[in-house]
Chain A
Amino acid sequence: MPPDSPAMPWIRRSLRPSGLVLAGFMILWAVLVVRAPVDSMQGVIQKVLYVHVPCAFSAYAGFIGTALCSALYLWSNDERFDRIAAASAEVGVVFCTLVILSGPIWAKGTWGHWWAWDPRLTVTLLLWFVYLAYLLLRSFTEGSARTARFAAVYGIAGVLAIPLNYFAIELFGGAAMHPDNLERGSLGAGMGWPFAVGIATGLAAYVHLLLLRTDLESLRAEAVGAERLSGG
């Protein structure tokens, strides 16, 4: 009898609590965003940032998650880590895409043009490319063990490229157009909470989607395992 694919039952059990936490955060966040004061200089469009910034946190969390699980997979040879790494990349790329789409919307509304080669947005764009390369590598490699290994190697190299790119672009890149107002002091009154809750919501969303996606992958692996047992 062929062995079963390693299962992750704790994922199924965590889905409901994480879903509830996410729902709670989203409601709180929506309320805070609607009630937040309109920025005097930038107008209503500034509220796009309440989406943009949390997505950025989650996009970076996603790739750090992928890199961590990649390293753990290489170290332990346990394929469950690879499943989480892949799921993290798939969830993270969605957030990254949202960041890149919402950034120009805000920029157009405030500065009047769609794109500027500002360091943070450029590095996020590069992150997006790294994500895509990771996902393409996964689909174009044949042999699941090899796919996992190659992807893990790229996950680790990719995560190193992020600080290097940031450092590089800071040194030479364009003028910073990002508002450096994440420090509490320069944020307008009443904007701190929506941001903080927004970030928490974004991370909760990341975690929940990660669990969902990993669960899906586990289900698939188990289904194939069951198929083998029944001689299908």
Chain B
Amino acid sequence: MSEPALRAVGLGKRFGRSVALAGVDLDLPKGVSLAVLGPNGAGKSTLLRLIAGLARPTSGSVHVAGTPAHRPAARALVGFIGHASLLYPSLTARENLLFAARLQRVAGAALRIEQLLETSGLARVADVPVAGFSRGMSQRLSIARGLVHDPPLLLLDEPFTGLDPRAASRLAERLASLRAAGRTLVLVTHDPKRAAELADRAIVLAAGRVVFERHGSEGGAEALERAVLAAGDTAT
């Protein structure tokens, strides 16, 4: 019986007056993808950052493949692609990837970086400083950066924001192929259609709690959309 890729039990993050998350339970087996939706301020980014080990929970627990998320061993299993690009503008694409690879202690980094640059379609601009990149190119590099250590669990925080339709569909293809290759994805998105298309399960967060959960795709994107709207109403 293998460990679930991700398990959260009563996960909470709060301090005094502000409650970011309150009692979230998740049980995600390996290879199953999860979409996280909800109104702004619902705690979606916080949830992702807790799973990535960037923040520590104040109540409950979150484990990645059986290890508490805050431990270094768990951080090695997670690829995080956040709101911001996590890139250094004065370094080139290749240097950014090299730095990330060294931070993640990747063996055989040089080869891996070349492969990633190829798959991201950035080989031609590998030695151009990131400051000159378009949003789409930065996004592709961010994802390559998140994948540099070949993590089994991938966390993406609203990756479709600001992308033109062509870049967005390329991203969707990329995520679909990652999913097909057996990685576990947790995708925060505002778009119910993308959620339905790219994930096996979906949850809707509001005010730090899970208010809607779905395993499978009954109701399609419309059901998700209704759930998000309903969550938005109760939150205000």
Interface set of A (CB-CB < 8 Å, partner B): 2-3, 5, 77, 79, 143-145, 148, 221, 224-225, 228
Check if B2 is an interface residue, CB within 8 A of chain A. Answer: no
- Could you tell me if B16 and A224 are in contact, using CB atoms closer than 8 angstroms? yes
CA–CA, A224 and B56, complex, Å: 23
Residue B54 at the chain A interface, CB threshold 8 Å: no
Asked if B134 is at the interface (CB within 8 A of a chain A CB), the reply is no
Given known A77-B56, A77-B58, contact A3–B15 (CB-CB < 8 A): no
Instruction: Assess the B16–A79 pair: CB atoms within 8 A.
Output: yes
Interface 1/0s, chain B 185-205, versus A by CB < 8 A?
A: 000000000000000000000
Task: Establish whether residues B18 and A2, one from each chain, have CB atoms under 8 Å apart when the complex forms.
Answer: no
Interchain CB contact under 8 A, B14 and A224: no
For residue B124, CB closer than 8 A to chain A, the reply is no
Which residues of B are found within 8 Å of A225, using beta-carbon distances? 17
Nearest to A6 among chain B residues (CB) is B16
Our pick among B13, B17, B59 for the contact of A5 (Cβ within 8 Å) is B17
CB of B230 within 8 A of chain A?
A: no
**A11 CB to closest chain B CB, in angstroms?**
16
Contact present for B17 and A144 (CB under 8 Å): yes
The reply to whether B19 and A3 form a contact with Cβ atoms under 8 Å apart is yes
A221, B16: Cβ atoms under 8 Å? yes
Chain B interface size, under 10 / 10 to 19 / 20 to 34 / 35 or more: 10 to 19
Alpha-carbon gap, A201 to B16, bound state (A): 33
Minimum CB–CB distance for B57 against chain A, Å: 9
A6 CB, min distance to chain B CBs, angstroms: 9
Residue of A nearest to B16 (CB): A144
The residue on B at minimum CB distance from A83 is B16
B27-43 vs A, CB cutoff 8 Å, 1 = contact: the mask equals 00000000000000000
A144 with B18: CB separation less than 8 A: yes
Additional pairs, 6, CB under 8 Å, beyond known A3-B12, A228-B17: A77-B56, A79-B15, A79-B16, A79-B58, A144-B17, A224-B16
The answer to the question of B22 belonging to the interface, with a C-beta cut-off of 8 Å to chain A, is: yes
A5 adjacent to B16 (CB under 8 Å): yes
Among B15, B22, B59, B208, contact of A145 (Cβ-Cβ < 8 Å): B15
List the A side residues contacting B19 at CB < 8 Å.
2-3
Chosen A-B contacts, 15 in total, with CB atoms closer than 8 Å, are A2-B19, A2-B22, A2-B208, A3-B12, A3-B14, A5-B16, A79-B16, A143-B15, A144-B15, A144-B16, A144-B18, A145-B13, A221-B17, A224-B16, A225-B17
Distance, CA A223 to CA B143, complexed state (A): 44
Bound CA–CA A221/B14 (angstroms): 12
B121 to chain A, nearest CB (A): 38
Q: How far is the CA of A225 from the CA of B14 in the complex (A)?
A: 12
| Interchain CA distance A77-B15 in the complex, whole Å | 10
What is the distance, in angstroms, from B207's C-beta to the closest C-beta of chain A?
8
Cβ–Cβ contact B17 & A224, under 8 A: yes
CA distance A148 to B15 in the complex (A): 9
Report the minimal beta-carbon distance from B12 to chain A, rounded to whole angstroms.
8
Residues of A contacting B22 in the complex (Cβ-Cβ under 8 angstroms) = 2-3
- Alpha-carbon gap, A148 to B56, bound state (A): 14
